[in-house]
Structure 1
Amino acid sequence: MDWRAVFTALEEVCEENISVLSAPADLPYGDPSRRLVTCMGKILEHGRALEPVVSGITAVYHHYDFDSDTPGNGYRTLVKVLQSCLQHIIQKGRYVASNCGRALFRADHNASEMEAYGSVLCQLRALLYTAQRLLQETSPGQLYGEPGGDLSRGLVREYTSMYKACFYGRCLGFQFSPSLRPILQSIVISMVSFGESYDKQHSGLGMAAFSLLTSGKYVIDPELRGEEYERITQNLDIRFWKSFWNLTESELLSGLTSLGSNLVQVNLTLTIPPEPLFLPLASDPRLSTSVPPPLAHLGPGPVHMRLISHELREGQDSKELMVFSRTEAAPISVSLVPFGAQKLPPSPWLLIHFHGGGFVAQTSKSHENYLKGWSKDLNVPILSVDYSLAPDAPFPRALEECFYSYCWALKNCRLLGSTAERVCLAGDSAGGNLCITVSMRALSYGVRVPDGIMAAYPATLLTTDASPSRLLCSIDLLLPLGVLSKCINAYTGEGSEWVQPTEGTSTLRALGRDTVLLISQLTQGASSWVQSFFPVEVVGPSSSYRRSLGNLAHQRAVLPPSSDSSQGPMNYPEGFKPLRSKSLAVIQAPCCPVAKNPFVSPLLAPEDLLRGLPPVHLVASALDALLDDSVMFAKKLRDMGQPVTLVVVEDLPHGFLSLSGLAKEIQVASDICVERIRKVFQTDQKVDRSNEGIGKLPN
């Protein structure tokens, strides 16, 4: 429905309800009728104030799309979410107007429903005002505000006091398709039940049993559920989120999800010892460069991986591979192959996967459900990397392990059942970030880059800078701002001890020890690559690379105290005040320079660090708080002449791949990811990256 028609219908419904419900006070539903009249009056006021705001945003929001064939950005999403809210109000209002005089009409229930949506509308009005200000303060086509600017700091302070429980109570999941709402409701109820038991220090079966017993009250009382969810997302630490997200690793849940997943003949967990690797340079295979094992924070250590293959291929049951296997079950043998079948020859393709989980949680086990399906659909072996997790192993440990795994896979592809003629990196969320940064690191080392990347809803900017889609963090079920900031802080090592650089590294004064180590390793790789063109003289890192290092030494941005946040840091129109929470959230906005490291936030990378990337296929969701990360990164690559595609799917939350098999819409989105990967594998020739006219690959 056109937005103008929505506002017209809202006006008519509100006026009709006010007229019908303002009848004599001796009606049987008494008090609730007056509550409804008051509520409809406020909704009418919000609607009339929002119409010109929406008119202004819709007049220009197409300028922020990736291209005319890909309508999607945070401004569109905010208008879409508002329309969903208004349509629920219109539907409920029509029901009330038609049934309020009937004997079985539940006046109190309907009044509570309408009041809940009225609260949601009030808070959405605040977000739309903020989006309007973003439009005024940002450059045309730019979705992010000034890095660390007043608007970004104000948004964080606003979140600390903004009332958010209304989004998680009766109105839970109103912006998503009806088939997804029961799933999201189950997740939220599980989370608040788990949070209550987490506070009480239960463990093991005791925590699970307590969660089961307490979940019923959150089904019956949606207001209580909303309040508890707000408390959890505002105040519980990163250890809680690690514990909750890792529930998918439990034998019970993993067993249940595996019931609906595809059967595979190979599902091996591998442990790779920390030994230096020697890889040929892409520019001159006669020369090689050394890739050290992961070192940051934890010292040299093994890397864990999972090999998944729908069918057994040559090499996957070899003694050489079994040396690395840590699978408790019996080793794979030909007896697992269906009777009469032969082992297949190595595949020319290899898919290397990095899982999501905010850099702090989950493993390949959490994601093997859809990976099994991908292995079957693509007929390809998949190597999924179990990188070390923050906050115990912050940046750059995960990047080191993922890059090392990539290099190991190139050298040992035959053991994985592949000739690696074409290699694709795939990942979601944090894993999408790692796909991009691993490719950047391969470029810097001068080794072979992958033939393509498929990144689903990747995090390309690990800051809390304001953008229209980031405003959704105030209402998001799975990625609220409090959780996002905790994950970013954990990965970037916020609060960890900073050390003085050694002599000769003054330009890196603000960087931590492990970031300096990463840069020194990358410099070594870049130097080796450059030397391949100059066989005699030694050449240092390029000037653009040195500039990128200098840009890392940003001054530490300090968020002003939030003691005044209860007064509301945003400048709203006179007479309007959003609803405020009873208690303030504790938000530590990421402000250490590591967050602006190009290998942490590739959206901030200088062009010379991105030039030469393989084709990048981004799959984003219109209702994801990280939507603008994908849109702006796709624009950046396109404007550089790098091959890139962007698909924006509708009505799905962040992390939808982890919900594979639960709804038809999710399966459709997963199939889009598979098609993007297939495009990488089936391209006959590598893209000529010297062609500066390339914008995006054909659909």
Structure 2
Amino acid sequence: MDTKAVFTALYDVCEENAAFFSGATKGQSGDAAQRLVDAMTIIQEHARSLEPVISGFAAIYHHFDFDPHVPANGYRSLVKVVRCCLLHIIHKGRYISSNRRSIFFRASHNASEMEAYCSALCQLRALLYLAQRLLHDNSHGNLFFQEESGLSQSFLREYASMHKGCFYGRCVGFQFTPAIRPCLQSIAISLVAFGDNYKKHQSGIGVAASSFLTSGKYAIDPELRGQEYERITQNLDVHFWKTFWNVTETEVLSSLVSLTATTVKVNRALSVPPVAFDLPLAADPTRTVTLCPPAAHLGPGPVQMRLISHELREGQDSEKLLALCRSEGGPITISLGLKTKRSPPSPWLVLHFHGGGFVAQTSKSHEPYLRSWSHDLNAPVLSVDYSLAPEAPFPRALEECFYAYCWAIKNHNLLGWTGERVCLAGDSAGGNLCVTVSMRAAAHGVRMPDGIVAAYPATLLTVYASPSRLLSLMDPLLPLSVLSRCLSAYAGTDPQVEKQVEKVSTLSMVKRDASLLLRDFKQGASNWIHSLLDRGSAGTCI
């Protein structure tokens, strides 16, 4: 259905329903009928304003595609989201037309549905006007507006003024495939119920248990759920999100998940002591560079990892590796004994960095799919439990992940790996660490990874406005305010002044984080170049 056909269908169904309910007799459903008429009328007004805007974007958005074979960019996404909203309204309007004479028709419920999508359409209209300004003010062909003043400030002010509750109530996930909407609704209900009980119990599992008992009211009242979701995402600090995301780390829930996960023969938590070691330079293997252990903020300390392997491979039950194992209070899950068959080392190793916004989760919460990876890829997986912000801000996590990468290369014989090929994998914050670890490897002159699998990584930590970033203003899982708090914690913002640096200043701290990151890479590159030029300084610690 093309754009003109979508708007024509919308006008027709709204006009027809408005005419019907305008003639409804006064009675028990009289107020609901008037609400339906008002909602249909306002939807038409928004649509008439949006139609030329949508047509304008449809005429030019192909110029911003990556190439003819990848028809995707932020302007396309914005138009698609608006179309999804319009199609939902058309579908609901046709349902009302077909069932409005039935004795089972609930006029009040359907009025609430139309009002919710009317509110969503109003907010999308505001986003499209901001996208129009971005298109007009930006230099030709650029998606990002690379100034923090002007449009980028408008971007943040728009977020502050938006009524975002409509995107988290009845309309939650409308822009995604219908199959995922129940999951998003469940997450939204869990989140607001958890927020309702936050700080009433000392343990995360206690809050989760109470949340289960109080979640019913948010399931039956989508408007209340949307209001609470907006309040939580706008006001609660990063410690709330750390607690919420870490619910899956509790022993009860992780044990339940493990029952259905793929069985593996090796699943051991490791604690690698902070000891400096040498690695050969990629450009000249006869020369080495010394890698020092992580030391930022917390001082030198061990790096925590988890080794998962579907098969017991040579080296994985060696005394040297077992000496690094740390107890997690559960049974030993590594196959031991002289009669146990040991498979030869794998040519591949997957080095995994978990997500969690730099502030939450560990390898344990990601363990189910890591087990599947080890089985499907027939390769060991080493997942790094890096230190988390705000207690350990940048660059501690990067230091630990880079140290783990170099340690794995140095000690491949302990991991059931030949040392031939290594792939970095991570999601969200872990995707960022995949990229930055690779950059640090290049800066230090050591071996680069053979591949990177970075799922939705955080890569551009600036306040620059772009059309795709407008969509973060209504994201059902990680809206802009939550993302800002996580990045501020990673950047080292003082939590006591967190509320004072909300919105614009919070994201300004992210710019400082990016500057520190670039400075760190430049310093590493300088050290690498000097090590190549100075033949007598091969043992310098970096």
Instruction: For 1:69-468, list aligned pairs within 5 A.
Output: 69-200=69-200, 202-203=202-203, 206-328=206-328, 329-330=331-332, 332-334=334-336, 342-468=341-467
State how 1:654-673 maps to structure 2 within 5 Å: none
- 1-structure distance, mates of 2:393, 2:114: 45
CA deviation map 1:178-210 (0-9, x unaligned): 221111111111111111111535545542332
Q: CA RMSD in A?
A: 2.6
- Runs (5+) with no aligned partner, structure 1: 498-509, 541-699
**For residues 491-530 of structure 1, what are the structure 2 equivalents within 5 Å?**
491-495=490-494, 519=519, 523=523, 526-530=526-530
2:204–2:243: 8 Å Cα contact kept in structure 1?
Answer: no
**Deviation of 1:319 (Å):** 0.6
1:107 positional shift: 0.8
Residue number in structure 1 paired with 2:499: none
Q: Does 1:7 align with 2:7?
A: yes
User: Relative to 1, partners in 2 of residues 1:202 and 1:442: Cα closer, same or farther, differing over 3 Å?
Assistant: closer
Distance 2:536 2:200 in 1: 67
Given that 2:424 and 2:452 are in contact with CA atoms closer than 8 Å, whether structure 1 keeps it comes out as: yes
Partner AA of 2:209 in structure 1: A
Q: Which structure has more RCO (C-alpha within 8 Å, separation ≥ 6)? A: 1
- How far does residue 512 in structure 1 lie from its aligned partner after superposition? 8.9
Distance, in Å, in 2 between the alignment partners of 1:224 and 1:515 is 41
Q: Check the 8 A contact 1:395/1:515 in 2, yes or no.
A: no
1-side partners of 2:36 and 2:128: how far apart? 25
TM-score, with length taken from structure 2 = 0.91
Distance 2:131 2:83 in 1: 15
Q: Deviations over 1:596-624 (max 9, x none)?
A: xxxxxxxxxxxxxxxxxxxxxxxxxxxxx
Q: Which has the higher helix share?
A: 2
TM-superposed CA distance for 1:368, in Å, is 1.2
1:43 and 1:517 map into 2 onto residues whose CA distance is: 47
The answer (yes or no) to whether the contact 1:428–1:457 under 8 Å persists in 2 is: yes
Deviations 1:132-164, CA, capped at 9 Å, x for gaps: 111112233322212313211222122223111
Within 2, Cα distance between the matches of 1:319 and 1:47? 70
Tell me the SS of whatever aligns to 1:75.
Answer: helix
Change (3 A) 1:45 1:285: same
Point out the more displaced range, 73-82 or 314-323: 73-82
Identify the residue that residue 652 of structure 1 maps to in structure 2. none
> So what's the TM-score if we normalise by structure 1?
0.71
Specify the alignment match of 1:469 in structure 2. 468
Aligned residues: 524
Change (3 A) 1:365 1:487: same
Number of the residue aligned with 2:504: none
For 1:532, the equivalent position in structure 2 comes to: 532
SS at match of 1:388: coil
CA drift at 1:341: 7.1
Cα distance per residue 1:469-522 (max 9 Å; x no partner): 21122211111111011011111112489xxxxxxxxxxxx9999987995796
Contact 1:385/1:402 (<8 A) preserved: yes
Residues 279 and 290, structure 2, Cα contact 8 Å, conserved in 1? yes
CA change 1:467–1:44 in 2 (3 A) is same
CA gap of 1:206–1:245, structure 2 versus 1, over 3 A, is closer
**2:505 corresponds to:** none
Within-5 A mapping of 1:553-568: none
Alpha-carbon distance in structure 1 between the residues aligned to 2:296 and 2:515: 8
Whether contact under 8 Å (1:263, 1:310) holds in the other structure is yes
1:30 is aligned to: 30
- Kindly state the Cα deviation for residue 444 of structure 1 after the two structures are TM-superposed: 0.9
Give the aligned partner of residue 640 of structure 1. none
Counterpart for residue 564 of structure 1:
none
Match of 2:501 in 1: none
Question: 2:517, 2:116 → 1: CA distance?
Answer: 52
Q: How many Å separate the matches in 1 of 2:2 and 2:186?
A: 32
**Letter of the aligned partner of 1:252 in structure 2?**
V
Q: Hey, what's the Cα distance between the residues in 2 that align with 1:364 and 1:343?
A: 25
Aligned to 2:506: none
- Give the partner amino acid of 1:404: Y
Partner SS for 1:348? strand
Percent of aligned positions that are identical: 61
| 1:389 counterpart letter in structure 2 | L
Q: 1:323 to 1:109 in 2, by over 3 A?
A: same
Letter paired with 2:349: L
Aligned counterparts of 1:437 and 1:271: Cα–Cα separation in 2: 23
Q: Is the 8 A contact 1:266 1:307 kept in 2?
A: yes
- Could you say if the C-alpha distance between residues 166 and 537 of structure 1 is closer, same or farther in structure 2, counting changes exceeding 3 Å? closer
Within 1, Cα distance between the matches of 2:511 and 2:37? 59
- Say if 1:355 and 1:431, in contact at 8 Å, map to a contact too: yes
Query: For 1:639-650, what aligned pairs fall within 5 Å after superposition?
Result: none
Superposed, 1:625-636 pairs within 5 Å as none
Counterparts in 2 of 1:358 and 1:5: CA distance versus 1, 3 Å: same
Quote the Cα distance in structure 2 between the aligned partners of 1:151 and 1:511: 17
8 Å CA contact 1:283–1:529 kept in 2: the answer is no
